Amino acid sequence: MTDAFILMAPLRGGEQDKARAAIEALDEPFARVPGTHIARLQVLRPPPRRFRGRTRYYLLLAADHDGSADAWLAAAAREIDAVLAHCAFWPGAGDADEVVRWAKARQLHSGFWIVGAPDATVGEVGEALELRARLTRFAAETAGVSDDELHARWPPR
């Protein structure tokens, strides 16, 4: 079952450009976080209300993942520590319990959602796509062959 985690954490004063640079420097950190379907990172500044001065900058981390949020957060924090390090009160990625506590205090809950394949894990989607490619290839290769030849080539590889 896919679950979501949305984090909106204020950045330390004046560190928005450093946070943006850290985001730009990332390669593919979420590829190394098991169970991540989708993830985004961005620096965001809400528009100010009238006569209330300037707003702060925030880091938005949003992801849909398999499994428990705690395990996902601990793994993700290790991969994007360089970005999260610009957030106020970031405890560092070393202590998983602290990371989870810090992140959950800044979590936004999604109230309504649509998910394309809500019941499939990342692994299941990958296997299904691979099987689809295999079956498509096998169907093309065995089009018009005799039952005996089909039997000899079975199963689809």
Contact set for other proteins, span 21-40 (CB under 8 A): 23-24, 26, 28-31, 36-40
Number of Cα atoms under 13 Å in the Cβ half of residue 70 = 5
Q: Does 58 bind other proteins (CB under 8 A)?
A: yes
CA 3, CA 151: separation in Å to the nearest integer? 43
Name which of 94 and 126 has its Cβ closer to other proteins.
Answer: 126
With beta carbons less than 8 A apart as the criterion, state whether 42 and 60 touch.
yes
- Per the DSSP assignment, residues forming a β-bridge with 62 are 6, 40
Residues 110-129 that bind other proteins (CB under 8 A): 110-117, 120, 122, 124-129
Q: Does 86 bind other proteins (CB under 8 A)?
A: no
**Residue type, position 5, single letter:** F
Residues 132-151 that bind other proteins (CB under 8 A): 132, 135-136, 139, 142, 146-148, 150-151
